[in-house]
């Protein structure tokens, strides 16, 4: 079992200038924790600790134990702002997890069984890499599996074709949006067609 923990300190020096100073001088990542019954809390974390945690893909859809100056609370990552060129985290938003209270989280998609449609001459396009889910904290899945083993050439796999884990609901479907997740198409043969298809 992976250990999803982060240490943080409360920060009182707020604003964009303060956030820039934190990142530049102290190698800290500013963040905000909100949700539950408590007021939003501004914190900062060591950039290298954040980077280490995010090396594990599961951290994005896992409950993290956040230790803020000795007080522990369970949170999930709600949003990350990254540097456009370097990719490191500039700011993070966390949401407190309350037992018995549903949460929404972004969960990565894992595609399996891709060899079968490729053998039939198909090419696979992944339309999404993550799905927003709603569930109780105890039911939060690490990833959603999409099995393409039985997909025929020409098939489009939608959210409604996926089996949601027990207790998990796909947010888009709940709002009436049956998103495409992947499709299997015939290979584009002519180079001219390839160029025309490229956006």
Instruction: Tell me the pTM.
Output: 0.77
pLDDT digits (tens, 9 = 90+) for 60-119: 889 999 999 899 999 999 999 998 988 889 999 999 999 899 999 999 999 999 998 888
d(CA 187, CA 45): 47
**Averaged pLDDT of the chain:** 87
pLDDT of residue 24: 67
pLDDT of residue 198: 52
pLDDT of residue 29: 92
pLDDT digits (tens, 9 = 90+) for 171-191: 999 999 999 999 999 887 644
Which is nearest to 124 in space by CA: 108, 105, 109, 142? Answer: 109
Read off the tokens for 48: 């290298």
Give 26's pLDDT tier (boundaries 50, 70, 90). Answer: low
Calculate the dihedral angle through the C-alpha atoms of 135, 141, 78, 84, rounding to the nearest 10 degrees: -150
d(CA 134, CA 108): 14
């Amino acid at each position: 079992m992976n250990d999803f923990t982060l240490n943080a300190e409360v920060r009182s020096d707020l604003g964009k200038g303060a956030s820039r100073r934190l990142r530049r001088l102290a190698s800290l990542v500013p963040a905000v924790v909100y949700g539950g019954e408590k007021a939003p809390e501004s914190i900062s974390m060591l950039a290298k600790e954040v980077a280490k945690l995010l090396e594990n893909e599961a951290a994005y859809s896992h409950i993290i134990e956040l230790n803020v100056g000795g007080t522990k609370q369970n949170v999930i990552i709600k949003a990350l702002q990254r540097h456009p060129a370097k990719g490191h985290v500039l700011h993070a938003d966390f949401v407190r997890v309350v037992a018995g209270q549903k949460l929404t989280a972004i969960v990565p998609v894992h595609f399996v069984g891709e060899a079968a449609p490729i053998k039939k001459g198909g090419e696979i396009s992944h339309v999404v890499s993550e799905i927003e889910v709603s569930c109780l904290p105890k039911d939060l899945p690490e990833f959603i599996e999409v099995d393409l083993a039985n997909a025929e050439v020409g098939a489009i796999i939608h959210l409604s074709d996926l089996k949601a884990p027990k207790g998990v609901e796909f947010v888009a479907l709940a709002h009436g949006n049956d998103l495409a997740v992947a499709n299997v198409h015939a290979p584009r043969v002519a180079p001219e067609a390839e160029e025309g298809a490229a956006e």
